[in-house]
Structure formats: C-alpha cells, structure tokens
Structure 1
Amino acid sequence: MSNDSDTNDMTYEPTRGLTPRLRFAEFHGDWEYQKLNDIAFIITEKAGSSKYTLMSITTGVGLVSQMEKFGREIAGEQYKNYFVIREHDFAYNKSATKEYPEGFIAMYSGEEAAAVPNSIFTCFRVRAGKVIPQYLSYLFLGNLHGRWLRNFITVGARAHGSLNVDNADLLSLQVPMPQGGRSLEEQQRIADCLASLDELIAAQSQKHDALKAHKSGLLQQLFPAEGETTPRLRFAEFRDAGEWEVKPLGEVATFYNGRAYKQEELLEQGKYKVLRVGNFFTNNSWYYSDLELDETKYCEKGDLLYAWSASFGPRIWHGEKVIYHYHIWKVVMKDNISRDFLSTVLSYQTEKIKSQSANGLGLLHITKGTIEGWKCSFPSLPEQQRIAAFLTSLDDLIAAQTQKLDALKVHKKGMLQQLFPSIDEEQG
C-alpha cells in the first residue's frame, strides 16, 4: 500500500465531535473514548527460572535487547521478577525523558517471548477483538498517555528513579476510537497508512546512512594513512604529483580565540551578536553585546571556525557578522592552503581524536598549543581544491538526503496530528 494512494482515499472532515480532521473516505460517524482498562489488562507473568531475551527501551525507538543497548545483560538476581511480554504486548517505561516527560510506551514486535525489568516497567496486553495493537502503538508514539498521566503525576514524584504512576491511573487513560462495526477496519487502515510512512522513512534513512558511510570510507583513502605520505586513492591528474608534505597546523593557519563574556554583558542588547558554542551549529538563540573589539574577535560569512568545547569540530560560518565566544577559534589560512580542504583536515583529525578518546565522545577541552601541534598532510593547493570540491559535492548529496528525511518525518508528524482527534482540545 503506497502512501500516495492512501492520501488520495482520504477526505477532510469538518470539525465536529470527537472525529479526526483527516479520514479515509469510506468511514463515517463519530468517534468515542474507551478506557484503556476496557481494551487491555495488566501483565503479571514473571520470568521465574525460564530463560527469555532481556529487553530495554530506547525512547522514540522502542524495545531493544539489553545486549544491543548495553553490550551485556544486566538483570542480576532480580531477573526472576522480570515481566514476560509477548508479541504485540506493551511495555510502559516510567522513566522521564525530555521528549516523553511522563514516560514512554512501546509495543513489542518480537515473535519470541521476552522479559523487561519489573522495577520501572508496567506491561499490558490488549483484549482480543477490542483494538488493533499497531493503532494503539501510534497513539502512544504521539504521547496520548503523557497528556493523560500528567494530571496524576506530581512534580518530583519518583520511586527508585522512576515516575510514581499508579496502574489504576494508567488504565483510566481515555483512548479515542472509531465507533461502530467497522472500528477495527478503520483502525487497521490508519495503522497501515502510518506504517507505510515508517517504511519510507526507514528507506530514506538507509540512503542517508549509506552516503555518510561512503564519505567516511573515501576520507580514509583520500588522505595518507598513518606513517605514509601519499593517499591510496588519488585523482588521475595528481597521481604523479609526488608526496604530500607533513606540517603542524600552526604552520598553515593562525587560530584566534574568541572572548569570554560576563553575564551582564550577554544580557545587554547592542550592536553586535555573540556566537556561543551552544548555538555553534545553528543560527538561532543569539546573545547581544555592544562591545567594540578588534577584527580578530569577529567572524563573518565564509570564515572557518573551530569549537573546542561541547560542540567539538569545524564549520564554515554562513551567518551574519558576530562576535564569537572564547570556546571557538577563528581559523585564518596562510598561503597555499584551501579553506575547504583545511576544514576537512580539521574534521578528519577531530574524528580520529574522538575515536581514540576513552568514552568515544571526544575531548572537551583542547589547548591552542595542542591543535597547532597536530601534524597533518597537505598536497599542492590545486590538489587540495580538487579534493575539497569533490567532498563538497558529496556533502551536498548528503544534505539533500537529510532534507528528504526531515521532510518525511515532518509529514508523518502532521499525519499523526490529523488522523487522530485533537485530544487536548476534547479533554481540555
């Protein structure tokens, strides 16, 4: 079933009663609320001495095995009390996250029975013939439960690190459903439509990831390996151009520090804006300053910047003229050095450092002396420009795939909002 054909079969309903705005043409009539308790029941089966795959939840993704998430199983002596779940059962993780502050509910899709920790999970199973599990799953993905449970959860109410949610409050959740004899059929149509969008998003995500992996592989071949002076992969016109020259970065560029600001300066509205590390990769959330500084403290469109704390890495600034924070360096190239090539060198070097760090997240504080001492390989300026142009074209392809992926996600979000009633308005 394609998403296009689904959309063509839909009609927009006038807003009346508990009905969604977007609906398949063959379905009519009002919707109704049913309590979760009427369509599902709490699971109390324990793992005991039986062996099950241990699961955990990744918010926004769903249930994944503990081996996949943590690299090991972490049940310990509590395993015997784990709840057993089966295909199309639901597991409610009562841990608050930024996206789901009232916790996340995921449907289990595995064919083999599994087990989840009883300490932070409440599990339930739908009653046969009452509701389509996939339909219910999309409602939870849209945080139906969160909008309901926030009425019962007191601020800071926690038990052993999880939200203190009573099962009775969860089971009192009001679930919007079509009325009449075709209710299950309409639920299935909605679930199938959203599943087809998920398939498109997954396929687009694979294309995006494949391009990124392709670029990563090319970078390893377009630059000389450790201890070598020529790359394994080289453009035809430069195959006889000789060895690359190894130089410390301090010889090919000058690194200018930004400036530290007092809180009262950041809160002043004045002539100039301040680029901080926190908004390094966006053009949003500016602070202002009316300080007059020398030109090395400003960055303008086209400047190469490098952040050494938090947002770790290089970028080319495309925004307006701003003052930049001291956690950022402005990188000014010397003769015979391409800006775009140096940006790639900095990115490549950064990724190597991240992979070598103890936690894989990169070093949060790098001194100016350290970065100036990094030894990197450089070919002639024409070869630098050729490599940079090629990688820029590849980045453009990746950016286009990213835009397509983001557009699909936005489309799905809009469909979720229109295929279900405006629950906040109805319950508000």
Structure 2
Amino acid sequence: MEVYLDNNATTMVDPKVFEQMKPFFCETYGNPNSLHRFGAGTHPKMMEALDYLYSGINADDEDDIIITSNATESINTVIKGVWVDEILNGNKNHIITSEVEHPAVTAACKFLESQGVSVTYLPVNEAGVLEAQTVKQFIKEDTALVSIMWANNETGKLFPIEEIGQICKEAGVLFHSDATQAIGKVEVDVQKANVDFISFSAHKFHGPKGVGGTYMRNGVKLTPLLHGGEQMGGKRAGTVDVASMVGMGYAMHLATTPMALAYEDNHVRKLRDKLEDAILELPETVVIGGKENRTPNTTLISIRGVEGESMLWDLNQKGIGASTGSACASEDLEANPVMNAFGSDSELAHTGVRFSLSRFNTEEQIDYAIEVIVNAVKRLRNLSSSYAYAPETHKSGL
C-alpha cells in the first residue's frame, strides 16, 4: 500500500481540477492578451477562475488578486515591493516578521537586511504561536511592514491573524500574511483579518504546481516584482498560464466551500488525531507545540531516540511519504529551525517528523501507516546507541 502523508509539501491535483484544465493545452490555447478569437476564447474561464479566487478568500471586488507562479514569488512581490515603495522611496526602514516563517519570507527579509533594512524576528511562545501583543510591542514609527504566516507549515499552528491585523491597521502599518498553509484547511477571510496582502499557492489545495496568487487590498501601492508587459493590470508582467489559472480557481472553489471546510474539520481531523494518538502511545513522543489551535491535517511529532531522516527512510521503504519539515529545506541536514525556535534540545531538534493529511486519505491508509510507524520506531530505537527503551517514561503532549 502507498500512503501519502506529506500534503503540506504538495498535494495531488484533484481529478475534477485536471478536467477543467485540459481544454487549455490543445484546444483553447490562445494568448489571452491577443485580440483574435483564439485569445478571447480564454477569457470566460479566466474570469470564472478569478471569481472563484475572490470568493474563496472573501476579497472585495475593488481589491486585486495577482496571478503569480507560486507563493514564493507572491511573498517576494510583497516584501520587495514594500521595500521599494515604503523604504527606498519613503522614510521607513523596519520590517517585523517571526522566527518560524517559511524560508521564502526569511530569505527575502535577509536580502533586505543586506541592503540596510532593519528586520525584527519575533519569537513564538511555548505553544509555537506568535502573540499579537508581541507584535504591538515592536512596531515603531519607521515600521513599513509586518509579515506573519497564517498557519505554520510544520506544526500547523494557527496565528492570531485578525488580532495582528487590527493592531497593524491602528498603527498604520502594512500587514502581509503567508496564507499558503491555511487556504483549504481553515476559513481565510481577508476582510475579517484586516490584511493588506496575502500570498498563496495552488498546489497546497489540490491545484496545479507553478501557479499562485497575491491578494492586495484596494488602495495599497505595490511596485511589481516583474516588469515587461501589461498583464494583470501592469502589476505582474508575463503571459498568464491560462490552464494553471483555471485550475487554481477551480481548486479554490472546491476547497473553500462551507461543506469542504467542514470535511477538513471533521473527517480529516479525525484521521489526523487517530494517527497522532497511536504514535503518542509510544514512550517519549510529543506533539511539537501541543494539540490545540492547529490546522486539522497537520502534526509534527518528536520521537526521542529516532532521527527524523532515519524514520523517513523506513517509512519510504514501506510506501509512506512524510517529511521532517518544510520541503523547501528538506535537503538541509541542520536541526529543524522551527524546533530550535521552541527551545528543543540538540537531540530532539533532529527528531521531528511531520505528517500532513488531505481529503484523499482514508482510514485504511491511516491504519496501515500506524502499523508501519510503530514498527519503525521500535526498530530504530533498538539500533540507537543513545536511547534506552523505557516504557515507564512515556510522555505525550506539551
């Protein structure tokens, strides 16, 4: 049996989404910016896709949603655009983010630091969440942007976006949230959240890879990252990948209906909890960040005495896909930075394994995964020179 439990890295394209995309490869293939019928023929489905995107995040008709190649491009568009508009061409020189952001945010901020921008990296609390009042404490007169993720890609922890958004609004500071791991798992409402920007990627909610979006509140100025054409109203140059845009829109539609979100919150959560509870029955296992306030599909579990990479090897041999954290840093053998942010000791920082489910997982798959995981833990602990198997030391939770 093959069981895919790495859906925070990417998801399979929903077959219904794929069917919507097919005509735009060999039938309705015109450039949407061309004036002839071949180009114009793409417009109805592109407009439908935009309607789905706006509805999925409750964007206002006057707001902008810019189609990009992925969330990484979207994030760089926002952070570097604000750098140009508010810092290079303004009188501000400060950005606030957290210590547990996706590498796309962290790397963009590090680049700005190399250009002389002051960046504050705020710590999370013991539950793995950035407290809104911490953000408020660090906002200064020259703060140009606050960029805080909606949901953590490794722990699934949800951040207090609405509260942070209100704080930024009252302070007159632009607020960006990386919503990549939230859309399709929990409600993402840009009106309630008081965000100026969000970033997202279709392949995280059963859409195609290679397409994402940037939401931009009406009235907010943002210098484009890419120049060279008038596509997207001049906000993002380059011929639009119509098939991918249509696929992302329909994937958003399927993932964000009340029924779909209820399925995530009930069925997917139930399967995640079954898997998690079975692992926690083993001695010295712990859910990083605790069980509360998470997306319903994600768990990051530390298994003392079992190196994460070794566990992934055993699971892969049995047809199970999982990860040790962000896929964008999976080749880096350094200790997991999120676990370091929690203050984990040097041994535990290498033991985290992330399991992330989707609506396509079944109970039969979870039962099989539990059996394989339990056997793998026992085998690897028996091989470990630093772990003494002692059932009486059983721990669970934080």
Q: Answer yes or no: same fold by TM over 0.5.
A: no
Q: Greater share of helix residues, 1 or 2?
A: 2
- Report the TM-score, using the length of structure 1 for normalisation: 0.26
- Report the TM-score, using the length of structure 2 for normalisation: 0.27
Rg larger in 1 or in 2? 1
Q: Greater share of strand residues, 1 or 2?
A: 1
Taking CA–CA contacts closer than 8 Å with sequence separation of 6 or more, which of the two structures ends up with the larger relative contact order?
2
